[in-house]
Structure 1
Amino acid sequence: MPTDQYFSKLPAFPSDVPIAKLNRLSYAKLLTGDEVESEALFEASRTLGFFLLDFSTCVEGQNFLQRAERMFEINEDVNNLEQDELMKYAYRPPHHLFGYKHLGNLKIEDGRPDRVEFYNVGQDDMTGVSATLPNPPLIEENRSDIKAYMQQAHVVTDLICDILDSQLRLPKGTLSSLQPQGRPSGTSLRMLRYPPQPEGDRRTSLLGHTDLGSLTILFNTIGGLQILPAGADAKDDDSWVYVQPQPNCAIVNLGDAMVEWSAGILRSNLHRVTFAPGDQSKSIRYSLAYLVRPFGDAPMKRLAGGDSIIPPLEEGEEDTTMTAREWESHRAVAIKAGKDNARSRGGRDIKVPAKKAAATGLLQAVN
């Protein structure tokens, strides 16, 4: 469980590695509509695309942490099944994105095999939106718990989307309407396992990438996740900084869909997973990622117009006419070909017309 008690069982995160400075936001304050906390969420979503979300100070948050504990237990049990059993449910992208991905199935930047395995559970499968998919008995036995976790994670997602709606001056419910839990999508719960790496051969486990969807809610207890600061060179290993897991907190990051909808105001930041630092490198690293994607027929065009601060198309610009399904397929082809993947997106300055700024009390430009 991502609480103090769970963290106390693990080797300490070392103090001698570069650590990213992520805003730590209170879920309890966001639930009450706290303006300062909501503005801090928006600022983090614009400038880094990552923030910590602390669930410890309210009943709703503590309930979510308890469900996360159960998911960690299922994660460990699933990824410890016999390889032959797991391969019956093999993940076969791009057409079958759910099931088991074995170690080395994908490549890292230099072409060597990755060092991560995971089981990807489809939300549509668990919630009954799609036909039931084949899963190991262990998944089926815990279907109700997995569904409950997804439903609670979706509530967290909706809250974040409502805050971003407000900050972007979009009608309430705009972003949530593009990723409802009741319509077919690629949203999933990914249960990841990173084995310890051998001394003398420690390297990237999962290549640098941005998330294709809209939001990711990530729980882990051991280091290894790294992000690339703005303006840094992805090819320079010294440029990457660790994200230190914190008790009671999820790591939340925005994906590429948010960049598209906001015309680049929101940021999807490049990140990767490497070996855990310090004494943590000897431990198995489990991670739990709720990966939110738009529903398949959702439009991917920018959400400009009305009172929104999202800029309209400039002369010579063309908006996409693709649906989320088409856009994801297009991006997947580009990524597989080694194009348009290893870079951060978004983070553009906000420029508000004078009339709109006067009406809303916004500054002319927020840098």
Structure 2
Amino acid sequence: MSEAFRSETALLNGEEVEIAPLVVIDLYKLIEGDRTEAQRLLESCENDGFFYLNLQGPHPSSKILNDQDALLEVMRNYFAQPEEVKEEDNIESMTDGFKPVGKFAGVKRNSRDCYETLRVSYKNVIEKSASMPPTVATHLPLFHDFVSTSHFITQTILTRLSDAMDLEGLARFENSHRSERSSTTTLVLLHYPENYDNANSGHNKHTDIQLLSPVKKSRSWLWVQPRPGHAVINVGDSLRFLSGKRFKSCLHRVFPTTDGYQTESRYSIAYFLRPESTAEFEDTEGRAVSAKAWHDEKYVVYTQPHHKQDLSTMLTGGMERILSN
């Protein structure tokens, strides 16, 4: 199914909200090398920077939908543990371990975030590192399958984008994301716990560091509606920079729809495919910077209070400035 999802509004907790009109890209067609679908993929990255990816179809990667359900159950059990148990997995790493609620800036001015995460790097899963959290080690076959399939899917997207742009050699996107090279590629499990405080909410507006949610367009926030059997894919800063800023990196945030109150626990799974650590590109300020340096600098910006974030274009990857013009 390769059509735009055309619903315009929806009732969400009694409030009418505008739905982001995402294009639907078919993974099976990309795997099969369909040139028309690759062109549609390219156009969606150039025009919007985000799209639905239909994961259903007669291909082995569709197994990720079943793995997703199993992983969600693991997440529920993990995040239900006492805080002191989860803190044992907090190793202050940018790519692995537990992140507690409140580490980053929140959506509201002078607030902190209201979500916790468990991060598992591609490297540690593939190499079966002994330093993985007990929950990951216990369910390693599941994590390995999910990470491997996510990696294949995102690499397929890169390959088809390179094909559609007629890129060759080292200019091809997949050649900046070689699996055997060191990178900060990470699987992130996110939990937005029930919260009636309203002081701290959600995840502040930002663009993502990696390759490839509500999206800012036409100066208003739109709701990205979850769709069964589909993933929401967005272009991150790195791919935008590697494309010579030809692609859009979508500005998005996570925020409860009920006056800032999180009335029930929410869970999401994100796979961040990032370039090799030594890959270089030109950033928003015209600097030549490595992928690792950009990742580490932006991670620090996430932790800063809003008045410090305002001094840099890094949080939004320069996209807020572009959208305001």
Q: TM-score, normalised by structure 1?
A: 0.74
Give the superposition deviation at 1:116: 0.6
Is this contact kept in 2: 1:31–1:159, CA < 8 A? yes
Unaligned runs of 5+ residues in structure 2 are 1-10, 320-325
Alpha-carbon separation, structure 1, partners of 2:194 and 2:257:
8
Is this contact kept in 2: 1:50–1:252, CA < 8 A? yes
Map residues 90-129 of structure 1 onto 2, 5 A cutoff. 90=90, 92=92, 96-109=94-107, 110-128=109-127
Secondary structure, counterpart of 2:289 in structure 1: coil
Alpha-carbon separation, structure 1, partners of 2:76 and 2:120:
14
Secondary structure, counterpart of 1:263 in structure 2: coil
Equivalent in 251, 258, 264 of residue 245 of structure 2: 264
Kindly name which structure, 1 or 2, has the bigger radius of gyration based on alpha carbons.
1
Alpha-carbon separation, structure 2, partners of 1:91 and 1:276:
32
Is this contact kept in 2: 1:165–1:172, CA < 8 A? no
Alpha-carbon separation, structure 2, partners of 1:288 and 1:132:
23
Aligned length: 301
Equivalent in 155, 160, 176 of residue 163 of structure 1: 160
Alpha-carbon separation, structure 1, partners of 2:24 and 2:94:
36
Secondary structure, counterpart of 1:104 in structure 2: coil
Is this contact kept in 1: 2:111–2:201, CA < 8 A? no
Unaligned runs of 5+ residues in structure 1 are 1-10, 216-224, 233-238, 303-317, 347-367
- CA deviation map 1:16-49 (0-9, x unaligned): 2111000011112222222222111111111111
Alpha-carbon separation, structure 2, partners of 1:320 and 1:344:
13
Q: 1:106 to 1:334 in 2, by over 3 A?
A: closer
Alpha-carbon separation, structure 1, partners of 2:81 and 2:301:
34
Is this contact kept in 2: 1:204–1:272, CA < 8 A? no
Q: Which residue in 2 is equivalent to 1:21?
A: 21
Q: Which residue in 2 is equivalent to 1:241?
A: 222
Q: TM-score, normalised by structure 2?
A: 0.83
Q: 1:15 to 1:332 in 2, by over 3 A?
A: closer
Secondary structure, counterpart of 1:322 in structure 2: strand
Q: 1:86 to 1:276 in 2, by over 3 A?
A: same
Alpha-carbon separation, structure 2, partners of 1:73 and 1:102:
19
**Residue 291 (structure 1) aligned with residue 272 (structure 2):** yes
Give the superposition deviation at 1:97: 3.6
Identity among equivalent positions (%) equals: 23
Q: Which residue in 1 is equivalent to 2:233?
A: 252
Alpha-carbon separation, structure 2, partners of 1:334 and 1:190:
18
Give the superposition deviation at 1:300: 2.4
Is this contact kept in 1: 2:186–2:272, CA < 8 A? yes
